[in-house]
Amino acid sequence: MMKHHNKPGVMKCLRALGPKSSNWKRWSNSLGQFNLFSFCLHDEQLKLSRIIKFRGIDMELRKNRNRIRVDFPKELKELIVHEMKEVDTMRDSKPITQRGQWALERYGCLNSEFKWSVKRDFDKSITIWHIATEICYRSEVQPHTTNSQIEMAKLLSNYMMYLLAMRPHMLCTTTANIIFQHTYIKLMMLLRTRPAIIKDEGEACRIFTMEELPNDSDLNKETMVTSNWHVLQDAQRLARSLISKENKWHIISSVWVEMLCYAANNCSIDYHAEQLRRGGGLITHVWLLLAHKTNKFYTSD
């Protein structure tokens, strides 16, 4: 029997939703993806852009056009289940209060080299780790070769950026749109002021591995949320630290799953309920697994 007696919020939600569940859509078994580098490199102006900008929906429409969905591979399910076991071991029935710190501790990386990156505001940490993951990916992956561990880490990174860009309410942060807009502007400025046109994500990421990024802060254009935050320099610093680690993809995957668990656990039950009515999504399924106390780590096709 499921042990939800000590989680009254979950019980209330399940009692309310249970009788209606037979009429709901089933999960599509797909994963939302949003890559910030791809968005900056391949984004195009919309038709009637002046009218759309006037109405304030230009960025949302462009983001919507650049998101994609991919099949949810079995390897990723198994990775998430494995990492959730590790999260459960570390938290020992306590609330999920960490979003990468436990993973770093497991790999002996909870030091000044990495700890700062998971102590930023949650949306800032997601952004930094997303850019750093892409840099690591482009520096290692060779054409016509695949590595399951690397590909799964990239899927997780793009999914968490999808939540930040398209579903910020699921992350329980009020500043996600500001963080996204700020990062988009900084990255676009970097890419568009190069001597030669940057054609793809690999070229863009090589800037971070081969050059020292300039301090481009403009206090007159910063908000209270973004002042004194150098997002690209932070991402470069994290990426360089990760690249030096032989087990970097284990570290990256573990941090992403812990961030996903943190987001799922702290998201409003009302938002999870709405997702379930639409067939659910990965973050909501993770929330359900975290809430259950029996058979939670069973995986199947």
Predicted pLDDT of residue 42: 87
Q: Containing H/E element for 71?
A: strand 68-71
Mean pLDDT of 186-209: 91
Q: Mention every residue, 6+ apart, whose C-beta is less than 8 A from residue 299.
A: 74, 77, 78, 81
Predicted pLDDT of residue 294: 41
User: Any idea how long the chain is?
Assistant: 301
161, two tokens: 């950026």
Predicted pLDDT of residue 26: 67
Mean pLDDT of 27-44: 90
Q: Tell me the C-alpha distance between 203 and 253, whole Å.
A: 24
Predicted pLDDT of residue 160: 98
Contact 145, 245 (CB under 8 A): no
Q: Mention every residue, 6+ apart, whose C-beta is less than 8 A from residue 92.
A: none
pLDDT tens-digit map of 118-158: 999 999 999 999 999 999 999 988 766 678 999 999 999 99
- Helix/strand/coil for 212: coil
Helices 201-210 and 122-140, axial angle in degrees (round to 10)? 100
Q: Mention every residue, 6+ apart, whose C-beta is less than 8 A from residue 16.
A: 273
pLDDT tens-digit map of 63-105: 999 999 999 999 999 999 999 999 988 888 788 999 999 999 9
